[in-house]
Amino acid sequence: NASLSTDPEENGHSEAVSEFSRDVIRGLTSPRKTLPCKYLYDEAGSLIFEQICELDDYYLTRTESEIFSKNLPAIAEALGRDVTMIEPGAGNCEKAQPLLAIMDTPRCYIPIDISPEILLAAESRIETALPGLQVQPVIGDFTMPESLGEKTAENKEVIFFPGSTIGNFTWEQARTLLQGFGSRLSAGDGLLLGVDLVKDSVILERAYHDDQHVTEAFNKNLLQRINRELNGDFDLDAFAHKAFYHPLRQRVEMHLVSLKSQRVNIDGVQIDFEEGETIHTENSHKYTLETLETLLADAGFHPQQYWTDKNKHYALCYADF
């Protein structure tokens, strides 16, 4: 194959493109059209997501960081001393750093992320700020349990999973993910988890349907990405952003609604839309302390402590394994 590069990075890239293409075609040819939410985060999407985190309407990021700053010493105490902290999907590691700085002699920090650039920049920043802490970045997809590796030392380990990322997994996926986390741990290890709580649907819907249309841009960027990377011809103006709270499923669902009957071509495949038909692009599950406890128990974790904000909009939970 003359077009196959000998550069492994380029082949990795084309593998990623064909996985993207396969997932997109599969999702858009199924009876209820869907697209996996992980594809929202290309470079453009990640930048738009950073803007979402700054929005007044999007209370999640702000509330979680308030809970951290108010309770940092108590959280550090719950984690204990001589701990190895593992952070799946760590990104720029900005949430872990203040915690590592205040913990009693943390032994090692293992951030896991698919983006090597962001991870390696964070590694050198943390090593400079916290000399003596071993940082062992892992480049990988944290939804694959093997990316967590195996425990090699006897000291306590804590998995740090903030940001309400667990909310973007269905109940079954979340249980499987947490069980995967548990496969690295032994009795007495722990999990520090950030979850968004069930609340008034007006507040929830505003967070995912902001006045400034940033979430709309985030959602529609997925169509733009398909146009860019898979030679698609989506007309972005012919789709509308829709986000609503589903009280029975206790989740905000994000969709793109076709505003007319239309045909879209992607990679030579024709996809037909009826007027009003939607592409389901994301779920964001909201928990109560009870549903959270059930999820944790199903994966072998026992909640020890919760920290919340004054409105009880968001919670951090420390659980033992």
> Which spans of this chain sit near ligand AVI (rule: CB under 6 A)?
52, 60, 163-165, 167-168, 208, 215, 218, 282, 284
CA dist 231 → 27, 225, 226 (Å): 17, 9, 7
Please state the closest distance from residue 206 (CB atom) to ligand AVI, in A: 11
**Look-up: residue for tokens 């009880």?**
312
Nearer to ligand AVI, 49 or 306 (CB): 49
Please state the closest distance from residue 37 (CB atom) to ligand AVI, in A: 8
Please state the closest distance from residue 164 (CB atom) to ligand AVI, in A: 4
Residues in contact with 202: Cβ distance below 8 Å, sequence separation at least 6, in sequence order? none
Please state the closest distance from residue 67 (CB atom) to ligand AVI, in A: 15
Contacts by 18-21, CB closer than 8 A, 24 or more apart: 20/229, 20/230, 21/230, 21/266, 21/267
Within 10 A of 54 (CB to CB), how many other CB atoms are there? 10
Nearer to ligand AVI, 161 or 301 (CB): 161
Nearer to ligand AVI, 314 or 318 (CB): 314
Which single residue brings its beta carbon nearest to ligand AVI?
284
**Euclidean distance between CA atoms 265 and 27, whole angstroms:** 14
Please state the closest distance from residue 48 (CB atom) to ligand AVI, in A: 9
Contacts by 228-234, CB closer than 8 A, 24 or more apart: 229/17, 229/20, 229/42, 230/17, 230/20, 230/21, 230/24, 230/266, 230/267, 231/266, 231/267, 231/268, 232/264, 232/265, 232/266, 232/267, 233/264, 233/265, 233/266, 234/264
Nearer to ligand AVI, 52 or 230 (CB): 52
Please state the closest distance from residue 137 (CB atom) to ligand AVI, in A: 21
Nearer to ligand AVI, 271 or 292 (CB): 292
Please state the closest distance from residue 218 (CB atom) to ligand AVI, in A: 6
Nearer to ligand AVI, 123 or 205 (CB): 205
Nearer to ligand AVI, 91 or 106 (CB): 91
**Euclidean distance between CA atoms 194 and 315, whole angstroms:** 6
